[in-house]
Amino acid sequence: MKTPPLQRLIIRIQGVVQGVGFRPFIYRLAIDMGLAGWVKNTSKGVSIELEGSPEVLNEFLSAIESKKPPLAYIHKLEFARAEPKGYRGFVISASETADEKTALVLPDIATCRDCLREIHDPENRRYRYPFTNCTNCGPRFSIITALPYDRPNTTMARFPMCDDCRAEYENPSDRRYHAQPIACPACGPHLELWDSQGKTVARNDEAVDRTAELIENGMIVAIKGLGGFQLIVDAVNDQAVRELRKRKGREDKPFALMFPSLDTIRKVCSVSEDERRLLDSPQSPIVLLNRLENAVEHNIVTPAVAPSNRYLGIMLPYTPLHHLLLDRLERPIVATSGNLSDEPICKDENDAVVRLAGIADYYLVHNRPIIRHVDDSIVRMVCGQPQILRRARGFAPLPFYAASLPQSILAVGGHLKNTAAVSVSDRIIISQHIGDLETEESARTFAETIADFGILHNVRPKLVACDIHPEYASTAYAQKTGIEIRKVQHHYAHILSCMAENEVRAPCLGICWDGTGYGIDKTIWGGEFLIIDQFDFSRLACFRRFKLPGGETAVREPRRSAIGALYEIYGTDVFEMMDLPPIMSLSEIENKNIKRMLAQNINSPVTSSAGRLFDAIASICGMRQICTFEGQAAMELEFAIDADCPENSYETAIQQDADPVIIDWSPILEGVVADRRAGIPIGKISAKFHNAMAHAIVAMAKIANIQNVVISGGCFQNRYLSETAVKLLKNAGFIPWWHRRIPPNDGGLSLGQVIAVQRSLRRK
């Protein structure tokens, strides 16, 4: 038999393919497949030439996408076939120009295995050195002061390299070749442990040991990490965790945890192979993991770390300092953002001593400045794929790609969990998570983040996009920029962000459910079904509207949503229904006041919000009347679901002749009230409610009769809802799309706003 003739394959790849371990990946893949040729960086991306049999070359092509490194993103892959040149072996060639700078700013990356080996090796000159890093790991985004990305343009500029480090930096075969932030004990940054007054009490290795002792003794230590301060306590110490809750003013909201190892995590949570990969990835995010049903948790973490929560948010150590500390402690720690409530995290030690006074007992600090705050990212698996819920460390500021437009557009996002975004030709850069724009501190960070775009991406926006909500601080900011403004409806932006990350083309049906968003009719929207056409959108349907007594107060008090919805059906009779928990929870005066508000239309705006419906059901079920953090009631309702009744559901009534079409939830509410009175367990009620909501999605998809269905909005952080909706849509022959790389919550708005403006420009 004749062997098939050899072929040469020429590949050009654009996207996030430099500084992310892409060339070594191609090298290993080619060697494994026995292919000859080379790979190199170019100004546009990566070039590859390979020789082998056509079948193996095809296999190689598909493996690039399926096996690429976690940080890599392929925007465009072009290839051509040619006559073989007779290559022997496979090599990584030198870049086209020796000093080529990529315009891409890379995220901060978790300590790699090679560096980890060095800090554990007593013979190595970086033994136990907390600032060890290399070409594949370490700080990037958090230390860059300007472009190009070069040591003088980072906060490492103040640490001149010693001869040993310089030799590594200049040697092309060294794994620290051109690694800008490299350092060693002789030339790099150092640790200090400060007391609450900012007085140094220990240095270097001793500072790590003392910190471990303090944590063992129940102290709260603020640690200067990669992108800001973290507050650390022993996660098994109930009293210490409660003390941290008290000092931080954080009643029930779950704390993030850092575990010393995967094995320890498996004692309290189930970890799938996908989840293990996420925990272990270069991004090293907080991963939301299912708690084991029968775990003997209390000797590993106290329940106070995440009261009545089905998940634990867990990460593995991601800097050498974390590794050293957890090696010593051999137990999980709470590692929550070093801030007050929802403010941006502290990043400077002198600032921390002031802002965290009264919270931290000690401060473990160092002298490598952090230029910009970068929180820990949060990821979880949904519909079999990772979904980012908070996008920051490890992911920001990697770009998204869209059709190229000459004008740069700045988008300022929304109000809660905010991000900003900017477009630069065919790239859209979304900022790291900023937080809620509620305080002066967050307003300042927000402005700094936008100023950053100018510094890091050398861009001057011609248009600024903002939400149509008249009272968002971000909208006020946009108005002050002096740049021409374009206002974008909240739910439209949500859907566009999901379309953009999935590259879905119009037309599609966009289903956007969240708590609150300003509608074009000036009422509060939040349960929206939008038809997205080529340039714009129309409102196909929404949930039946109801009044929210007290307006904004209802966000904190689910019982107000319940009473508003019940009032819509039963009128003032509801105030006599003393067996219903929301009514039961009212004092006599509250009962009278709320009744008056609703009857006389005082401070009772109408809403079509789906989020408030979830609140209403949680309240009627007697689960929660008042929340201590955003989304708490809906979360508890989700956690209560009895997974054994996937078929049971309440009905909805759809009024098709209305414009927009109305999805009437009154049969759901009546069903819940009846079931509650009949003593049906909450788990069953919750399952029936969730299923009814998912069925409403499919019913509307059938009415819209459009193949592509895009789901977005904070409600879809609810995993059961998302997975059920996706499953039912697929079964009914639709193609569902959901968020993976962009949060479904308001963190995704900025991307959607940029796209909205691009679409309106294209129309002209």
Q: Catalog residues that contact Fe ion under the rule CB under 5 A.
A: 514, 517, 746
CB of 136 to Zn ion, least distance (A): 5
Indicate which of Fe ion, Zn ion, none lies near residue 693 (CB less than 5 to 8 Å, by partner kind).
Answer: none
Q: What type of residue sits at position 356?
A: L
Q: Based on CB atoms, which residue is closest to Fe ion, 356 or 500?
A: 500
Indicate which of Fe ion, Zn ion, none lies near residue 645 (CB less than 5 to 8 Å, by partner kind).
Answer: none
Distances (CA, A) of 722 to 384, 531, 697, 729: 11, 20, 11, 10
Indicate which of Zn ion, Fe ion, none lies near residue 187 (CB less than 5 to 8 Å, by partner kind).
Answer: Zn ion
CB of 159 to Zn ion, least distance (A): 8
Indicate which of Zn ion, Fe ion, none lies near residue 295 (CB less than 5 to 8 Å, by partner kind).
Answer: none
Report the alpha-carbon distance of residue 38 to residue 546 in Å, rounded: 64
Indicate which of Fe ion, Zn ion, none lies near residue 615 (CB less than 5 to 8 Å, by partner kind).
Answer: none
For residue 472, how far is the Cα from the chain centroid? 21
Q: Based on CB atoms, which residue is closest to Fe ion, 135 or 753?
A: 753
Indicate which of Zn ion, Fe ion, none lies near residue 165 (CB less than 5 to 8 Å, by partner kind).
Answer: Zn ion
**Angle, CA of 486, 430 and 441, to the nearest 5°:** 85
Indicate which of Zn ion, Fe ion, none lies near residue 514 (CB less than 5 to 8 Å, by partner kind).
Answer: Fe ion
Report the alpha-carbon distance of residue 408 to residue 400 in Å, rounded: 14
Indicate which of Fe ion, Zn ion, none lies near residue 746 (CB less than 5 to 8 Å, by partner kind).
Answer: Fe ion
**Angle, CA of 160, 166 and 170, to the nearest 5°:** 135
| Binding region for Zn ion (CB under 5 A) | 112, 115, 134, 136-137, 162, 165, 184, 186-187
- One-letter-per-residue 3-state SS of 175-221: CCCCCCCCCCCCCCCCEEEEECCCCEEEEHHHHHHHHHHHHHCCCCE
- Looking at the DSSP bridge assignments, the partners of residue 429 are 422
CB of 400 to Fe ion, least distance (A): 19
Report the alpha-carbon distance of residue 169 to residue 356 in Å, rounded: 38
Q: Based on CB atoms, which residue is closest to Zn ion, 136 or 502?
A: 136
Q: Based on CB atoms, which residue is closest to Fe ion, 208 or 697?
A: 697
CB of 539 to Fe ion, least distance (A): 15
Q: Residue 404 burial (CB < 10 Å; 0-12/13-18/19+)?
A: exposed
Q: Based on CB atoms, which residue is closest to Zn ion, 132 or 337?
A: 132
Q: Based on CB atoms, which residue is closest to Fe ion, 528 or 746?
A: 746
- CB 138, CB 322: distance < 8 Å: no
Q: Based on CB atoms, which residue is closest to Fe ion, 415 or 560?
A: 415
Q: Are strands 409-411 and 463-467 parallel, antiparallel or unpaired?
A: parallel
- If you compute the radius of gyration of the chain from its CA atoms, what whole number of angstroms results? 27
CB of 193 to Zn ion, least distance (A): 23
CA atoms within 13 A on the CB side of 20: 24
CB of 459 to Fe ion, least distance (A): 26
CB of 533 to Zn ion, least distance (A): 49
Q: Are strands 409-411 and 421-424 parallel, antiparallel or unpaired?
A: antiparallel
* DSSP assignment string, 639-667: HH--TT-SS-----EEETTSSSEEEE-HH
Q: Based on CB atoms, which residue is closest to Fe ion, 226 or 749?
A: 749
Q: Based on CB atoms, which residue is closest to Fe ion, 355 or 494?
A: 494
**Angle, CA of 118, 122 and 123, to the nearest 5°:** 80
CB of 263 to Zn ion, least distance (A): 23
CB of 743 to Fe ion, least distance (A): 10
Indicate which of Fe ion, Zn ion, none lies near residue 379 (CB less than 5 to 8 Å, by partner kind).
Answer: none
